[in-house]
């Protein structure tokens, strides 16, 4: 991937796509193709085909997706399945038709079976039932992986797939209902401190264990794999380390400097009991994460506070 190559980042305004954009710019890549959802609806097959035919990108990072936490996944099941299916199908097929040199499809660790042996290896895909709360999203992502495999097998396309663990960082979604667990906790503890609330309620029992990767570390891994990996099998991207939701909540509480209590609402779903990625393949390829969780949460919280300040000033 040369500095002069034309690189399309699908989803550049999202947390992941934004991190990939920052990484590429920092490395000196200047020929970046960027389109907002208003400029290019990736669910519109004709629009996607016309875009690829006109621009002829050399490389594609497929980071565009409809995403959310347990509540959003479970509530908008049809939207999550349909939108993510058609986005993947439209871009992957257009990349084949227009002879893209290489495409990277970004999935999610939720593609793996709910009770997959821990840590989860790449070979665990399709070996058991999925977690029910995010099954539609997972099925759409599995379809994207299989599309990349099929176009590689039938047409010889250099399409690769990577599976990030739970992500957080700059540009995250802090919606009160539709965000993932870490940004949701940042917002809840911040608002509780600001409003001097005596406690913060966290969904579930606090016992499930999760792994978290800073989005800029993911971007670094994605660019690295674009240069160094051409295999058919997907690659897990993570830290290889996890902690309980209770431990996560306590860490966020400390970072935000909230002094009240944490209450766990066991009537709410826990989701998958544990979801730790086996990253031995990624390590063998020569890449490891660099951001520790506490430092990353500090950076994410600073970004959140800046956003809140900007919103207040805009009113």
Name the token pair of 158.
Answer: 């250099």
pTM of the model: 0.92
Among the listed residues 86, 268, 52, the one whose alpha carbon sits nearest the alpha carbon of residue 181: 268
Q: How many C-beta neighbours within 10 Å does residue 1 have? A: 15
Q: Quick one: CA dihedral 62, 63, 66, 67, positive or negative?
A: positive
pLDDT at 123: 96
Q: Which residue ranges make up the annotated binding site for NADP(+)?
A: 11-17, 106-109, 141, 164-167, 180
The span from the CA of 120 to the CA of 61, in Å, is 24
Binding residues: 11-17, 106-109, 141, 164-167, 180, 188, 203, 210, 270
pLDDT digits (tens, 9 = 90+) for 263-291: 999 998 887 788 899 999 999 999 999 99
What pLDDT was estimated at residue 16?
95
Q: Which residues fall within 8 angstroms of residue 116, CB to CB, at 6 or more apart?
A: 124, 127, 128
pLDDT given for residue 134 in this prediction: 83
137 as an active site residue: the answer is yes
pLDDT digits (tens, 9 = 90+) for 287-301: 999 999 999 999 999
Domains, the chain, in order of start with CATH, read 7-314 (3.40.50.720)
Residues forming the annotated binding site for substrate?
188, 203, 210, 270
pLDDT, averaged per 10 consecutive residues of the chain (315 residues), comes to 96 95 96 95 97 98 83 80 96 98 94 92 96 89 97 98 95 79 93 96 93 97 98 96 96 96 91 88 97 96 85 50
CA dihedral 41, 134, 298, 23 (to 10 degrees): -40
Catalytic residue among 8, 59, 112, 137: 137
Give 276's contacts (C-beta < 8 A, 6+ positions apart).
118, 119, 120, 165, 209, 211, 238, 240, 241, 242
* pLDDT on residue 158: 98
Q: What is the pLDDT of residue 179?
A: 75
pLDDT at position 178 is 66
| pLDDT value of residue 272 | 75
DSSP 167: E
pLDDT at residue number 315 = 44
pLDDT score for 312: 54
Cα–Cα distance measured from residue 56 to residue 5, given in angstroms and rounded to the nearest whole number = 11
């Amino acid at each position: 991937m040369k500095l002069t190559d034309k690189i399309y980042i699908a989803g550049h305004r999202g947390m992941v796509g934004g991190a990939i954009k920052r990484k590429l710019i920092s490395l000196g890549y200047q020929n970046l193709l960027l389109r907002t959802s208003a400029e290019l609806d990736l669910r519109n097959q004709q629009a996607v085909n016309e875009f690829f035919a006109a621009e002829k990108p050399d490389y594609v990072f497929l980071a565009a997706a409809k995403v959310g936490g347990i509540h959003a996944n479970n509530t908008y099941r049809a939207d999550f399945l349909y939108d993510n299916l058609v986005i993947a199908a439209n871009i992957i097929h257009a990349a084949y038709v227009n002879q893209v040199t290489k495409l990277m499809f970004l999935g999610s660790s939720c593609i793996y079976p709910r009770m997959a042996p821990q840590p989860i290896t790449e070979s665990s895909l399709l070996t058991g039932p999925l977690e029910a709360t995010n099954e539609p999203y997972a099925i759409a992502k599995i379809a994207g992986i299989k599309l990349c495999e099929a176009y590689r097998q039938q047409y010889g396309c250099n399409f690769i797939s990577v599976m990030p663990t739970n992500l957080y960082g700059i540009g995250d979604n802090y919606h009160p209902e539709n965000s993932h667990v870490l940004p949701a906790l940042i917002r809840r503890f911040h608002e509780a401190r600001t409003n001097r609330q005596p406690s913060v309620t966290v969904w579930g029992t606090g016992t499930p264990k999760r792994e978290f990767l800073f989005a800029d570390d993911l971007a670094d891994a994605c660019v690295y794999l674009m240069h160094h990996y051409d295999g058919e099998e997907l690659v897990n991207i993570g830290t290889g380390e996890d902690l309980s939701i209770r431990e996560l909540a306590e860490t966020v509480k400390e970072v935000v400097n909230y002094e009240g209590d944490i209450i766990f609402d066991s009537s709410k779903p826990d989701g998958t009991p544990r979801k730790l990625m086996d990253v031995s393949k990624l390590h063998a390829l020569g890449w490891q994460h660099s951001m520790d969780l506490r430092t990353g949460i500090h950076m994410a919280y600073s970004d959140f506070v800046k956003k809140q300040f900007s919103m207040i000033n805009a009113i």
